[in-house]
Amino acid sequence: MKKIFYLFFSFIFIQCYTAQYKTDFISTPFKLDFSQGTWMINEIQCTGCSKDNLHHIAYKGFLKKLDSRLKGVHEVDPSLLFAIPLDKDPLPLQIIQKESDYDYLINISQVETKDEINSIELLGGQEGLNNNAAVILEIYDLKTLEKIYYRKVSGTMESEEHDEDFRLAKGANAIAAKCLTNIMKKVLE
């Protein structure tokens, strides 16, 4: 029975598309100092993604380093909930600075989402399709309104022509979750 299980598992593993992950070259190369200050994590910004899953990954990771010094924006004051733009508009940060006593804001966005490959492809795949997602983590110092940390990880899975009857593929949400997991490993090391 074990041999059948291992054979089946090996067969399934061989029939999977694999995603490639890369870190943006302008990502912050240094480590963060979590020893002081209070931290607030903003709501995950994305459209059509699994916000709860990404929030769970980030909150669980930061909680290991920050313990009681970490709060979600909903725990602090839901009126502080802002979609922090990825450009340099300081207005949302200024409002959060005035309305809260927190030192740092953690902002996470899922961008560049494309979901063209089904999770299970039957009877051969179509070449040239891809699933991809990118996740950006930014940390702002609310006392100076400066961005002190930036990291972006992108994941892509491309279909290729194959003769097999079926193939398994990760969806864009699963790729985004893995991107955030990669970011959290680097942030928390």
Rounded Cα–Cα distance for residues 73 and 86 (Å): 18
- 119 vs 67, which has greater pLDDT? 67
Asked if the model's pLDDT at residue 13 lies above 50, the reply is no
Q: Is 142 within 8 Å of 93 (Cβ atoms)?
A: yes
Model confidence pLDDT, tens digit, residues 121-156: 554 556 677 888 899 999 999 889 888 999 999 998
- 67 vs 81, which has greater pLDDT? 67
Please report, for residues 16, 66, 125, 138, 142, the alpha-carbon distance to residue 97 in angstroms, rounded to integers and kept in the order given.
Answer: 47, 20, 51, 16, 6
Q: Which residues contact 13 (CB under 8 A, 6 or more apart)?
A: none
pLDDT at 28: 81
pLDDT at 124: 56
* Largest separation between any pair of C-alpha atoms in the chain: 64
Lowest mean pLDDT, pick from 68-77, 104-113, 133-142? 68-77
- Assigned fold of 15-188: Rossmann fold (3.40.50)
pLDDT at 123: 45
Structure tokens at 151: 């990291």
Please report, for residues 24, 124, 161, 165, the alpha-carbon distance to residue 7 in angstroms, rounded to integers and kept in the order given.
Answer: 38, 22, 24, 17
Q: Is 106 within 8 Å of 40 (Cβ atoms)?
A: yes
| Global pTM value | 0.81
pLDDT at 139: 92
